Structure 1
């Protein structure tokens, strides 16, 4: 959910920056984490959260956040959103660039403030794009990922860090149960397809935006 909402909010905020140089700088800073290798990202997480010596771990004493099953999910999605929020906001910024400047001028003449410009000009402009991307994202709602989750797993957090992709890998490659792992992958694909069709039908009925 946050991986879908955060890029929209970031694009709306960046679009409000008046200075072209500042806007370019902010965009560059937010894009950069997307190009960092997953292995490097996980290494950074481990370094930052190392108990006693890490940037954040030093404030936690001997408590290991990566060893706490209850903290695995927050750590994963916070770092995932941080890494990809800038890159995923590009398509929304492209949609916002097509807004007629006359709309902003007319709204300002009528006394609209920044929040009202976002609400009544910017947001309606990117709403069709949001609908299409929501439908596409629903087609991969169960695909949390493999590399990052697998690298962050350890014996202490395994109860909450096991996802379909890592489970399929362990069943198919490690345990050599190829037929069972294939069935799991097929089930995953079918559920994602159902979500895709369902989201497309709702979007088509509510906003007349659909991909088929």
Structure 2
């Protein structure tokens, strides 16, 4: 049962490209685009929703160049109360007055680094918190996970009603006979109807929930 639950959880996470359990993303690599920093504050797009930003560091391979204060990293929520897959860099709060102390430049200077390139792949190392607390886990995702987790156990339980591939059994003694049949067959388990029902409900739910928990990504080349 533990295996089927964990497999269903991972499948739901893959459906909507998110993490169910609240967890720490240790190192997500993001690309630097110079055009994003001209006459505007940059917005970095992440793989998972950003509940809380932890740190943002710019690196040339393993050489650290710049580190921003956490106060400058801002995340947002949509109309459903869900965090977006983005973080913006905006000098705010007390960090503005002490920028020289909190924005750390090391290794290569800015003039020798990012300003000379239009694009630097895997420049940013971003750490953040994503996922849901146990007390605030969305019930629609729990319902979807539960239905997915039942497929394996229901299939096995259906085979145990009369035996795998056995649709009916009968016994007769001295002219008396008794028979029993089920919905099982060589290609259908005893709980096949319930599995088909869940499959239809899951297909309908994924289409709707995709609009809530996932985001459309557009890339211009």
TM-score of the pair, normalised by structure 2: 0.25
Which structure features the higher share of helix residues? 1
Q: Which has the higher strand share?
A: 2
Asked which structure has the greater CA Rg, the reply is: 2
Higher relative CO (CA 8 A, sep ≥ 6), structure 1 or 2? 2
What TM-score does the superposition give when structure 1 sets the normalisation length? Answer: 0.25
